[in-house]
Amino acid sequence: MGRPVKIAIVGAGSVYTPELLDMIGQMRDSFNVEELRLYDIDLGRLDIMYGFTQRFMNNINHPMRIVREPERVKAIMDVDFVVTQIRVGGIPARILDETIPNKHGLIGQETTGAGGMSKALRTIPQMIDIANDVAKYNPSAWIINYTNPTGIIAEAVTKYTNANIVSLCGGGRHPGNMLYRSLGIEHKRVRYDYFGLNHFNFSYNITIDGRPATDEEWAAMANQIGQNVELIQKMKLLPSLYLPTFFNFRSKLKTQQEQEMTRGQFIMTILDELYRQYADPNVCTKPELLSKRGGGDYAEMAIGVMQALADNLDSFFVCNVPNNGAIPFLPKDAVIETACMVNSAGVTPITFKSFPDSVWGIVSQVKNYESLTVEAAVHGDRDKALFALQFHPLVMDTDVAKAVLDELLEAHRQYLPQFFPKG
């Protein structure tokens, strides 16, 4: 059992919170959480999740102290970790990020392209405010970020605040998941190099028990993905599950434009029922419906990284952190998603031995978009937003970029005061 820790959740009204509760319960014998503070700007959802959290922990007989805290500064004071999982504008804003790009012949997705930029522009100022509070009132705490687009958020926070932050994504466990599902190989036996950005990355040099993955194992992983199987086997690169958005742009766009509802619209259909179940005084376990919301591996990575930082456990995790020379052709302060060693000293990127020559150019292109998006969000700079979007691989058209950018900014005007200083 490690040292006792305190955790605050900013955005605790999220339906993802029970994933963290479940993992805290599963790891109770090795990760000693003595207090959990719940904070959210939506007091109704905060009350629902506070009640559910009490019932959940009572059901598993966990002694952790649970605090409902409606004031953010009080929530983050004297804790070891601040988990951030906010969504500025909620699911209705996500739906606009999906549908508006589709109208302009573009992919509508919440973490990349036009939709991803839109989410970043309204989220970055809020995350910088949170991070500045952490840096001011609790400078030794670590922010464990799951707010999307997580890599862009990490870059904004590390460039414009003094807070400690590590941004995570379940995609970092992708190669291990593929091998476990196809061949039953446990995660702890698998290691790999990991090159790229959040939702735009490639795993390679995959080893199992220290030996290179065989052709048969590569075939098994490729077949698990189900798209571009032959390409994956030839390149010996396991792409992010988001890469079909780039590799199969036309078919992906056609599917989006023909589907009855976007992913955001589907989520809207289950949210009310999820909160109804969380509010039910008879419900004290994680609802089965939550599995339809997504977010696989969320809690495993969040709790695992916190444990490694708190208890000085040398642990291998894929994290979004500043490059600091790991990729020499990208700026040092650019945030990349890469394999890291995590312990009480912090989160350190593992130095690359080689780079996959078939994809480093497009990774650089997307990173340029991300860094310009950070500057646009912080300074309310429409020109930089346009520069970023027009050369994104999913856009590559100045006229279209300007039209979709103007419409997205206007649609989200209430969340973008930096772009509308006169209101």
312, exposed or middle or buried, with CB in 10 Å at 0-12, 13-18, 19+? Answer: middle
Angle, alpha carbons 199-205-304 (nearest 5°): 55
* Residues designated catalytic: 242
**Contact assessment for residue 270 and residue 292, using Cβ atoms and an 8 Å cutoff:** yes
280, exposed or middle or buried, with CB in 10 Å at 0-12, 13-18, 19+? Answer: middle
Number of CB atoms found within 10 A of residue 211's CB: 7
DSSP class of residue 299 equals: H
| 294: Cβ contacts below 8 Å, ≥ 6 apart | none
Beta strands in 168-228 (DSSP E): 190-197, 200-208, 211-212
Amino acid at position 181, single letter: R
Bond from prior residue into 149 cis (ω within 30 degrees of 0): yes
How many residues are recorded in the chain?
Answer: 423
What would the 3-class secondary structure string for 33-44 be?
A: EEEEEEECCCHH
